[in-house]
Structure 1
Amino acid sequence: MIEKTVNIIELPQLALAFIPVLAVIFIQFSWSLPQKRTLHALARMLVQLLLVGFFLSYIFESNSAWLVLVLLIIMVLFSSWIALNNIEAPKRQLFQRAVLAISLSSIITLFIITQGVLQLSPWYHAQTLIPLAGMVFASSMNSISLSGERYYSELANKVNYKQARNIAFQASMIPNVNALLAVGIVSLPGMMTGQILSGVSPFIAARYQIMVMCMIFASAGISSAYFLLLAKPNSDDDLK
């Protein structure tokens, strides 16, 4: 059996990945669309990934429960704040709701996945827990962002709470349902692709990907639903 190793990407090769990115920026420029946010996002992506690569190397080596907990808390706070970018409502109250929603969905989902499916030992094994937590936080963040934006738009159009909640929840789950429909036919998701590239059997990679898809779908649904429940108005007139 041929043992396969992951290729090391040199910096000059990595730079080639930005060619199609520059094409998108050129389109924005040609169509007189704003490029500032795109450039800012690309710059942040570069800095954040380079820093996190260095930081995670240290955490993986130390494998400290306290360091892992601190990092998870930071990830929850940042994902909660980013989720509110497109929501037109008071940010302080929304931030508390987003933190609660992401925390609840993450605790439930990660506990079942790490202790039930993977039987992770110790529970804070950084090299496994942090990547999985990142997927959960990102899924919850996107779901809250979509549901929150749609929910407050519906309320602004004088839609009652129950109807606005249902519309917002359905909208927030569209990307996740589409991902379930497309996986394996249209796309091979990140974890499965990475494992196949590193030489893992496609059958084993498929099992891990099923676990990940369930984890992402559940975290998105739980966080969105809880966020919308927390956003329930106090006025009886809005609850009809």
Structure 2
Amino acid sequence: MDTIETISLSNLALALIPALLVLLIFARWSLNVVHPVYALMRMLTQLALVGYALAFIFAAENSHIILLVLCIMCFASSWIALSTVKELRLTLYKYAFLAITIGGGFTLLLITQGTLHLTPWFAPHYMVPIAGMVFANSMNSVSLSAERLHSELLNKHSYIEARNIAFQAAMIPVINSLFAVGLVSLPGMMTGQILSGISPFIAARYQIMVMAMIFGSSGLSTALYLSFVKYSYARHFS
């Protein structure tokens, strides 16, 4: 079985060249270059630190640590999701948290305990990356729905109309990924498994699981969020 090639720091630096070119476009076109620079720096810092954190988590194999990690994911993803409606962030945070925790948590439980039958139930090498995919995609969909719902209500649409428009808009990236997988892209999990030597047929089964998981968690979290915030917005626009 072939092993995945280790990327040297010098070779890794080459991967940043396209990103630097994009930053130059931001600057050249007089756009806000600070935000993408901050995002890139934060990404580099977070991924550099997460390697050490995951090494500790995987070595510890402690259920309490895994539960803490899952809680942090839920708290952080809920806060980030509402960056599109900052003026109402504190008011809506509890709804985003409940939506992501319930929608994502239900999906995570079903996948890890029903589909994969993890032993132990918190097996870190599976639980942490799968939870990351679930909560990250729930976060993205809730974020898109929050922005669109707010915009549509400001445009004097009824709540039902705004909710439906927001839900459809939030699900566009997820649905597009369903159309594209296998034709345009080989997603991360499938690519990683193939690179590590696993049969493409087995890798495809895992990817089907992942795509269904992402669609389900994103849709459930978004629908829950749009349901939870109804009365809050009714008070806000009354």
| Alignment match, 1:25 | 23
**Contact residue 169 and residue 225 of structure 1 kept, 8 A:** yes
| Alignment match, 1:134 | 132
Correspondence list, 1:22-61, <5 A: 22-61=20-59
1:109 to 107, 110, 118: 107
| Alignment match, 2:187 | 189
1:120 to 118, 121, 139: 118
**Contact residue 88 and residue 149 of structure 1 kept, 8 A:** no
Aligned residues: 236
More helix by share: 2
**Contact residue 189 and residue 209 of structure 1 kept, 8 A:** yes
Distance 1:88 1:161, change over 3 A: farther
Task: Please tell me the residue identity of whatever aligns with 2:205.
Answer: R
- Report the CA distance between 1:112 and its aligned residue: 1.0
**Contact residue 65 and residue 124 of structure 1 kept, 8 A:** yes
**Contact residue 161 and residue 233 of structure 1 kept, 8 A:** no
CA distance in 1, matches of 2:92, 2:191: 36
| Alignment match, 1:160 | 158
Unaligned segments of structure 2, at least 5 residues: none
**Contact residue 4 and residue 198 of structure 1 kept, 8 A:** yes
CA distance in 2, matches of 1:45, 1:81: 17
- Report the CA distance between 1:93 and its aligned residue: 2.1
- Report the CA distance between 1:222 and its aligned residue: 0.3
Which stretch of the first structure deviates more once superposed, 107-116 or 129-138? 107-116
Say whether residues 1:219 and 2:217 are aligned partners: yes
Q: TM (normalized to structure 1)? A: 0.95
CA distance in 2, matches of 1:30, 1:158: 37
| Alignment match, 2:141 | 143
- Report the CA distance between 1:204 and its aligned residue: 0.6
**Contact residue 63 and residue 122 of structure 2 kept, 8 A:** yes
Correspondence list, 1:220-239, <5 A: 220-233=218-231, 235=234
Correspondence list, 1:68-107, <5 A: 68-107=66-105
- Report the CA distance between 1:27 and its aligned residue: 1.1
SS of residue in 1 equivalent to 2:231: coil
